[in-house]
Amino acid sequence: MSGKFLSPACPAFFLFFLLAGQFLFPLNFEDPGSPEELAAAIVNAMSDEEALAQTFMLGWVGAEPSPLIMDWIRDRRIGGVKIFGWNTGDTRNLARTVGILQRTSLEGKYHIPLLVATDQEGGWIRHVKGDTSETPGNMAIGASGYPRDAYLAGYYIGRELAVLGINMNFAPTVDLFTNRESSLIGTRAFGSDPARTGILGTAFMKGQMAAGVVPTAKHYPGHGDTDLDSHGVLPQIGVSFDVLWEREMVPYRMLAKEGLPAVMSGHLAFPNTQAADTPASLSSWFLKDILRDRIAYRGVVITDDLMMNGATMSAGSLSKAAKQALLAGNDIVMLSKTPSLWDPIWTALVTAMGEEEEFRNRVRDAARRVLELKFSHLRGEGHVPYIPDPSKLETELPSPEGGAFFLDLAARSVTVIRGGGSAIPLTREDAGRVLLAGQYEDFFRAGKAAYPDAQNYWYSLERGLNDFAYFVRRSDTVIFCISDSEGLKIIESIKNLNKRVIVFSVLNPAYLEELPWTDGALAVYSYAPESFVAGFSALLGRIQAGGSLPYE
């Protein structure tokens, strides 16, 4: 071999240098380069187990990081963790925990940070509690009708998550309000209109991304047309694919065109489609043929919790469900609890990678997508800090600007359903003796501020209907807060007592359809404190109730 061939001036020398570079200088998450190139390079350098680990997202039980979740991060180098409500009572402790988890992950060979995810949709799905904002939620945004409200809701929710080091949010929920009896979706939906949901979902997505947080649309292909909960069973939704395509899938089609980075697949069966009884989360037809090929979605797909019965009952076991999920096209398998290090969900998948080329290639492709997502969103200007800054918790939780916005949103979304101009507004003088009947402290607090002389009554079926009727007879006006079917039974018991009855609806407003005999009804869509304040302000006539029902 001539000296000329190895000369530094020769292009071949640089080619040799580049090819050997990965051995001379180990790859690092902070290396320069495009997300696509870096993700491909790292996955090519990874062992099968290292690649498989990137497809795992695990939760754990307790406020402190368990020894087992630390083992999975330190020994397996998993790709992500999921924050659940049982981890989040103390936001300062949560921030410390996120810092511990990320420091451990960053000590790995490639210094790859974790995806740290949670469910902070707004409204009643708020897994990170503590000092974070309670918000009016998606249906309130749908009632206001302004995409800017969706954008700012996503932004301010994202800002609070970023302070805690949480870099991924399982929101927006773009399920439609199709089945009014659904206790699972309800006001988590923006409304029933597919295109409007797509517009608001896109705005929410962009607000989250502006805050540095990775948004995740769910539950693909659509959870709104069932009253069953896939935590316990596998819902069967008997619509045709044509209906799905023109209804539930419209928001996903719109979001995909706008660069949606992540989708959560739902444990839902659609027997009148080619997937038959296979859950969408385990169906290659739904995930590859439709989502990847027809919709042209290019981001990451993550399963809903695989420990939910809707997934494991169909597959036969957790390890089989995980393998089927990855083969079907999911890139991340999410588990709410931490399995043992040598659980079959790990050992069976490692064995399959060694024996089945198709599965091995699929896992490596999934790991590449996960790393592309991380390179695109977890570094660079504006990314969520890996280690939360404790000093920011005092000033940015809850967000002062967010609090003012969410109160404005609550006011814009208040919807008078019945009695506008006759029973609503209701002045203190016209109300007479007021009885506030409800089940929320914030309802009574806001109600007493509006009607200082009102009496409070905390209702329940156990307390008895006769007891309630006694207090109603001693009143001129009953303002009844309803949020569920129990409340519907109780309010029906006073139908013939000839009192002025105003219904104050939180959560699912469909119950109001069962109460045409009441004098007035308004909806606020949430039990956030701001929603109660806004509702009573509208009831008094101090603000204009400008919201409209976001469903037909």
Q: Please state the domain extents for the chain.
A: 49-395, 414-540
d(CA 221, CA 502): 38
What are the catalytic residues? 231, 304
3-state SS, residue 73: helix
Residue pair 128/117 in contact by the 8 Å Cβ criterion: no
The pLDDT score that the predictor gives to residue 225 is: 86
Task: Give the homologous superfamily in CATH for domain 414-540.
Answer: Glycoside hydrolase family 3 C-terminal domain (3.40.50.1700)
d(CA 468, CA 457): 8
In 201-211, which positions are buried (b, 16+ CB within 10 angstroms) versus exposed (e)? bbbbbbbbbeb
The pLDDT score that the predictor gives to residue 42 is: 97
**DSSP H or E segment with residue 300:** strand 300-303
What are the start-end ranges of the E strands in 295-344? Answer: 300-303, 333-335
* Half-sphere exposure for 32 (CA within 13 Å, toward CB): 0
In the block, tokens 């998993």 appear at 78
The pLDDT score that the predictor gives to residue 229 is: 62
Residue pair 271/218 in contact by the 8 Å Cβ criterion: no
* Half-sphere exposure for 116 (CA within 13 Å, toward CB): 33
Nearest to 308 by CA among 218, 221, 230: 230
414-540 has the same fold as 49-395: no
d(CA 507, CA 519): 20
CATH number for the domain whose boundaries are 49-395: 3.20.20.300
DSSP letter, residue 58:
E
Q: How far is CA 293 from CA 243, 289, 329, 367, 453, in A?
A: 19, 5, 12, 20, 63
The CA-based dihedral angle spanning residues 173, 265, 77, 315, taken in that order and rounded to the nearest 10 degrees? 140
Residue 516 CB neighbour total at 10 angstroms: 8
Q: What is the pLDDT along the chain (552 residues), one digit of tens a residue?
A: 333 333 334 444 333 334 444 444 568 999 999 999 999 999 999 999 999 999 999 999 999 999 999 999 999 999 999 999 999 889 999 999 999 999 999 999 999 999 999 999 999 999 999 999 999 999 999 999 999 999 999 999 999 999 999 999 999 999 999 998 887 899 999 999 999 999 999 999 999 999 999 999 999 999 998 876 666 678 999 999 999 999 999 999 999 999 999 999 999 999 999 999 999 999 999 999 999 999 999 999 999 999 987 677 677 899 999 999 999 999 999 999 999 999 999 999 999 999 999 999 999 999 999 999 999 999 999 999 999 999 999 999 999 999 999 999 999 999 999 999 899 999 999 999 999 999 999 999 999 999 999 999 999 988 888 999 999 999 999 999 999 999 999 999 999 999 999 999 999 999 999 999 999 999 999 999 999 999 999 999 999 999 999 998
The pLDDT score that the predictor gives to residue 322 is: 97
**Quick one: tokens of 407?**
């109160």
3-state SS, residue 143: helix
Helices 147-163/194-210 angle, 10° precision: 40
**Quick one: tokens of 189?**
């939906």
Nearest to 311 by CA among 345, 354, 349, 261: 345
User: Dihedrals φ, ψ of 457, to 5°?
Assistant: -140, 115
